[in-house]
Structures are given as C-alpha cells and as structure tokens.
Amino acid sequence: MHLAEAVLSGNRLALARLLTQVENGTPEGVAALDFLFPFTGKAHLIGITGAPGTGKSSLVNQLARAFRHLKNGASERRVAVVAVDPSSPFTGGALLGDRVRMRDLAGDAGVFIRSMASRGALGGLARATASVVQVLDAAGYDVIMVETVGVGQSEVDIARLAYTTLVVEAPGLGDDIQASKAGILEIADILVVNKADQAGADNTERSLRAMLEMAYPSKGYRGHHGVRSGEEAAADMSQMPAWVPPVMRTVALDASGIEELAQAILQHGEYLRATGEWQRREYVRLKNELDDLLRAALMARWQSGVRDDDYRSVLEQLCARQISPYQAVARLLEFGIQAGGANDKL
C-alpha cells in the first residue's frame, strides 16, 4: 500500500512504479487501485484518436502546453498523457515512439507522460489503460489525455473511457474519406483537421462538414464556425440541444488553432456537466469497466479449470468435424466449471 500512499503525496517515482504494477495486473497493483479509487473522478479524460500519422502525438504535445497555460481560476492544471502504441502479435514486443513528438513537455514537473503497449487488445487501448488513467486521476492530474493506437474503425473503447473524444483527420493520407469515416460521428465530440498548413485540408474539412450536415440535418447546424456550434449548444443548455461536434483546424507544428481547440475541449467539459451528460458518461464508463472485469474474471476462472490436453483434444475433434463449434464450447465450459471454483485466482 505504501506505493499508493506515496502516489497521493505526489511522488513521481512511486507513480511510475505503480503504473507498471497496474499495467501488469499484479496483486500490489490491484490492491493499490482499490485504495486509490475513492480519490478518482476529478480529471477531465480526453481521448485523441485518428489514423497513424495524422498528428495525434504532435497535437497532444501542443494541447498539453496549452492546458498548462490556460489557468483554471487561480490554479494551474496538471496534465498527464497516456500514449498507446501497438504490440506485435508475434513477439509481444512494441516500439513506443510517441514521446519523440512530445519533447516540448520535458522539464515541466506538471506534466507526466506514460507510453503503453496495447498488449494484444484490439480496441485501440491496452486492457489496463483505464486502470492507468485511474491512478493518474487519483494522483491529481486535472487533465488526462489518452492517445490511441489509431488503427481501424473500431476505436470505440476510447469514447467509452473519455469524457471528450477528439477524432483527428489530416489531408494527404489517402483520401478514402468514406471508409475511415464510418463510425466517427458516434465517437467524436470534436473533429480536428490537423495539418491545416497542407494542401487538401480544405477538402478534408469539407467532407467532414458534409458528413455532419447529413447527421444533424434538423439541428440547425450552421456549417462554418466549428466552435460556434458547441458554444451555442453550451449557451442554450436549458433546452439541452445535442452537442454538434465542431470541426476545428490546427497546425500542430506551429500551434495555430491549438488555443481554440483547448478552449473547445474545456467548453465540451462544461457542456457535459451542465447537461448531466458527464454523470451519464461516468455511469456508462464504470459499467463497462465492471462488465469487462467480470468477463476477464470469469474467463480466468474457466481457464484455471481447463487442462491444455483437454482443450487440445476438443479442438482436434472440432477440426475433424466430429463436433460443432457450439458443442466444443459446451464441452470446454464443463471442464472449466468443474474445477473453476477451487483454484479461483481473481
């Protein structure tokens, strides 16, 4: 428990070490999460997703700087970053290179950056990302940005974890806009056209706006000033209008548009709080976490009761088409249930 206590008192080495324990799911990590949980729930969790190369890490770098400068009343905001990169499914190794873009944050004691490998999880985050974020939250970081792996269209995990999700697009990465856009509106609270300095940014922005127009035809979407739609929504909260994701242009290399983007993120936070949506998202997030943990625990319980040989023999019968996949599952469940209760690990 002493690691967790040291984390609460602001010890950064203890924090780093605890994050490792939590990431590895060790008993000490789990116990620390139990201890720290009452201290969580204060941070604004921000997700940053989008295809590799769109500039997510560069944006995180700039946004972190912006949040450090934008005071919250009299107090400053402490910022944490969790950057997730993929693990190789073959070797389990990973090359975590997001820090390369975050060198401006070095030397600022109010910023903490942690790289994470996805370790086989497929939704754009690692299995332990939510827990890592909880520790950072308890450690007193006011803003926690989570950069996802950024592959595919299935990055819904981040929208479940974050209060505000940014979907980053950039021109010049193959303009198969339709394909990559499926599902974006379900997860985006703010759409970012990064690399606005590059040719094609207008096209990228136009197609995003066209998509929004289709999704929000009757919501009075005005189409030109991205921030305004959010502002208006926030200003008129008594009627609880839907939040229309603003489309914002940025250049992460020279920070243009970043201050506005940081403001829009904070506005979105205010909107969520004023409409009760913040609590609703929290509820959904914790429910998801509970269900995920339950699933993993059941899985572990089952697995501890199955011998490799039994598993393999069922698999062989399945491959020989002696039994169907459903029958195979039924058989394997029997094994697991029989021995499961005895050596229950979780």
Partner 1 sequence: MTYILILITNFHSKYLFYMDVRYNVLQKRFSKTELYMPEKKIRVLIAKPGLDGHDRGAKVVARALRDAGMEVIYTGLRQTPEMIAEAALQEDVDAVGLSILSGAHMALVPRVIELLKANGQENVMVFVGGIIPETDVPPLIEAGVKAVYGPGTPTSRCVEDIQKAVLGEVVA
Ligand X SMILES: Nc1nc2c(ncn2[C@@H]2O[C@H](COP(=O)(O)OP(=O)(O)O)[C@@H](O)[C@H]2O)c(=O)[nH]1
Region 30-89 residues binding ligand X, contact defined as CB under 6 A: 52-58
Query: How many residues does this entry show for the chain?
Result: 346
Instruction: Report long-range pairs for 19-24 (Cβ below 8 Å, ≥24 apart).
Output: 19/114, 19/132, 19/135, 19/136, 22/128, 22/131, 22/132, 22/135, 23/116, 23/126, 23/128, 23/131, 23/132, 24/128
Binding-residue pattern over the window 131 to 160 for ligand X, x denoting contact by CB under 6 A: -------------------x----------
Region 237-256 residues binding ligand X, contact defined as CB under 6 A: 251-253
DSSP result, 15-76: HHHHHHHHHTT-HHHHHHHHHHGGG-S-SEEEEEE-STTSSHHHHHHHHHHHHHHS-BTTBP
Asked if 134 interacts with Mg ion (CB under 5 A), we say no
Q: How many alpha carbons lie under 13 Å from residue 1 in its C-beta half-sphere? A: 4
Asked if 167 interacts with ligand X (CB under 6 A), we say no
Least distance between partner 1 and beta carbon 316 (Å): 7
Binding site for partner 1 (CB under 8 A): 12-13, 16-17, 19-20, 24-27, 87-97, 99-100, 103, 106-107, 112-115, 117, 119-120, 296, 299-300, 303, 308, 311-312, 315-316, 319, 345
Is residue 8 within 8 Å of 35, Cβ to Cβ? no
- Only one of the segments 48-56, 88-96, 103-111, 209-217 lies at the binding site for Mg ion (rule: CB under 5 A); that segment is 48-56
Least distance between partner 1 and beta carbon 252 (Å): 16
- Only one of the segments 94-102, 179-187, 266-274, 282-290 lies at the binding site for Mg ion (rule: CB under 5 A); that segment is 94-102
H/E stretch holding 4 reads helix 2-8
Region 85-114 residues binding ligand X, contact defined as CB under 6 A: 101
User: Which of partner 1, Mg ion, ligand X, none does 13 bind, CB closer than 5 to 8 A by kind?
Assistant: partner 1
Cβ proximity to ligand X: between 199 and 320 the closer is 199
Asked if 157 interacts with Mg ion (CB under 5 A), we say no
Dmax (CA) of the chain: 71
Residue type, 192: V
Residues at the interface with ligand X (CB under 6 A): 52-58, 101, 150, 194-195, 197-198, 251-253
